[in-house]
Amino acid sequence: MAIDPHASPSSRTDPTLAAMKAGFDDDLFVEGADWETVVDAVEDETLTVNMGPQHPSTHGVLRLVLELDGETVTHLRPIVGYLHTGIEKNAEFRTWVQGTTFFTRMDYLAPLFNEAAFSLGVEKLLGIEVPERAQAVRVILMEFNRIASHLVWLATGGMELGSTTVMEFGFREREHILDLFESQSGLRMNHAYIRPGGIAQDTTDDFEARCEALLTLLTERLYDYEDLLTKNPIWNHRLRDVGHITAERCYALGVTGPLLRAAGVPWDLRKAEPYCGYEQYDFEVPTETAGDCYARFLVRLEEMRQSMRIIRQALDTLPGGPVMVADKRIAWPSQQSLGTDGIGNDPAYIRHIMGESMEALINHFKLVTQGFTVPAGQVYSPVESPRGELGYAITSAGTNKPYRVHVREPSFVNLQAANEMTRDHLVADVIVVVASLDPVMGGVDR
């Protein structure tokens, strides 16, 4: 029999395939055939598809195992852990101050929130009160960070729906905010700027002017996003009535942050348990009732406005004074200011320890390498991160290193809702839903 070169390979015609198949169960093999015959052969018609771990719309390395009936999702199972770096374990071998350099790398779109939540927990254990100026600077930078994080959400979410303009807009404005962070901390991301006891160094002289300029710019640009998207028919069609979740289900699944607020609950830790002096600022907690992706978009957009309101008030009332606690057992004795090289410097102090006082040098060395000890105890310190409740459960055994730090990561918890939010949706909607969850895999996998 002449072999037809255009025919599908089959063990009937191909001796190599027939040899491979010999001795095995028939069910193990699928050979080329019409789709109808393949489908008829299996009883269960659902198809299991791996989406990710490398997929442009999964915000990192998230793997979604989709059960598909045709093009409809019947079940979604998120598989995480590809970015696990053992930050919590690492922190057990680092001093309390060094901890901030690790935790800032978890949710890399909201690094300042990680630093702040950890520092607040350590401060609670130490029983110290941070100077007012440090608190206000923390608030200003955290709110800018919230805007930056929401901008990345808007940019990546928009790009996944095919809107490259939104992507350009989001990343363009975010870069201005990162420039501000760089001018204050020396780094665009992963700052380790907020530390137990205060902040690493005082702000630069042009800090307020920079913030003002940035606020003016952002106020103007936020209207652009609204003009571009709020009434955009494609944006509306893709987001409305997609990924619905009710407040009850949010509670059951532990979902917090913009998702819970878009389901109608005005829950915000900045209001409920004010930290860093949030009680002084007048702002609103935006809510929507629809609980779909479009509602989340509106909530996040309004949150950016409210963040700017907070920054405006914090700038107007920015107090002077120290930015680190006075306790010399905790704070470094140097009064650093940021040099042109992006590194904190204090020439007068360096002259003192290098040229005048050996004891001061020893003290500084011990404080930097050994760190300070923290009384034994357990605390839980939550803050409202752009993605929801970010909590640090810190256990100290009374040494210079944490005994155990566990991080309640909102991305990790919120991801559990993905299955419910995508059920009976099309595959294309999975991308919208995952974008609206805004998971950051660095935070999920830690």
Supply the DSSP string of 398-427, one letter for each residue: SSSSEEEEEEE-HHHHHGGGHHHHHTT-BH
Compute how many residues bind another protein; rule: CB under 8 A. Answer: 55
* Binding flag, residue 380, another protein (CB under 8 A): yes
* Cβ proximity of 193 and 185 under 8 Å: yes
Binding mask 200-229 for another protein (x = CB under 8 A): ------------------------------
Q: How far is the CB of 307 from another protein (least distance, A)?
A: 18
* Binding flag, residue 277, another protein (CB under 8 A): no
Report how far residue 292's alpha carbon sits from residue 294's, in angstroms, rounded to the nearest whole number. 5
* Binding flag, residue 403, another protein (CB under 8 A): yes
Radius of gyration of the chain from its Cα atoms, rounded to whole angstroms = 26
Among 124, 138, 244, 312, contact with another protein (rule: CB under 8 A) = 124
Helices 293-316 & 207-225 angle (0-180, nearest 10): 150
* Binding flag, residue 362, another protein (CB under 8 A): no
* Binding flag, residue 235, another protein (CB under 8 A): no
Residue 393: partners with Cβ closer than 8 Å, 6 or more residues away:
378, 379, 380, 405, 406, 407, 408
Q: Which stretch binds another protein (CB under 8 A): 56-64, 187-195, 212-220, 391-399?
A: 391-399
Among 56, 86, 274, 333, contact with another protein (rule: CB under 8 A) = 86
Among 61, 62, 64, 80, contact with another protein (rule: CB under 8 A) = 80
Give residue 123's identity as a one-letter amino acid code: E
Nearer to another protein, 200 or 418 (CB): 418
Report how far residue 333's alpha carbon sits from residue 338's, in angstroms, rounded to the nearest whole number. 16
* Binding flag, residue 256, another protein (CB under 8 A): yes
Other beta carbons within 10 angstroms of residue 27's beta carbon come to: 8
Alpha-helical (H) ranges within 204-289 are 207-225, 233-239, 247-253, 258-262, 269-272
Tell me how far the alpha carbon of residue 193 is from its chain's centroid: 17
Q: Three-state SS for 187?
A: coil
Nearer to another protein, 170 or 402 (CB): 402
Nearer to another protein, 35 or 93 (CB): 93
Two structure tokens written together for 301: 């957009």
* Binding flag, residue 413, another protein (CB under 8 A): yes
* Binding flag, residue 81, another protein (CB under 8 A): yes
Burial class (CB in 10 A: 0-12, 13-18, 19+), 377: middle
Q: How far is the CB of 274 from another protein (least distance, A)?
A: 11
* Binding flag, residue 84, another protein (CB under 8 A): yes
Among 74, 228, 400, 427, contact with another protein (rule: CB under 8 A) = 400
Q: Which residues contribute to the site for another protein (CB under 8 A)?
A: 80-81, 84, 86, 88-89, 92-93, 124-125, 127, 247-248, 251-256, 264-268, 271-273, 285, 287, 366, 369-370, 377-380, 382, 389, 391, 393, 395, 397, 399-401, 403-404, 406, 408, 412-413, 415-416, 445-446
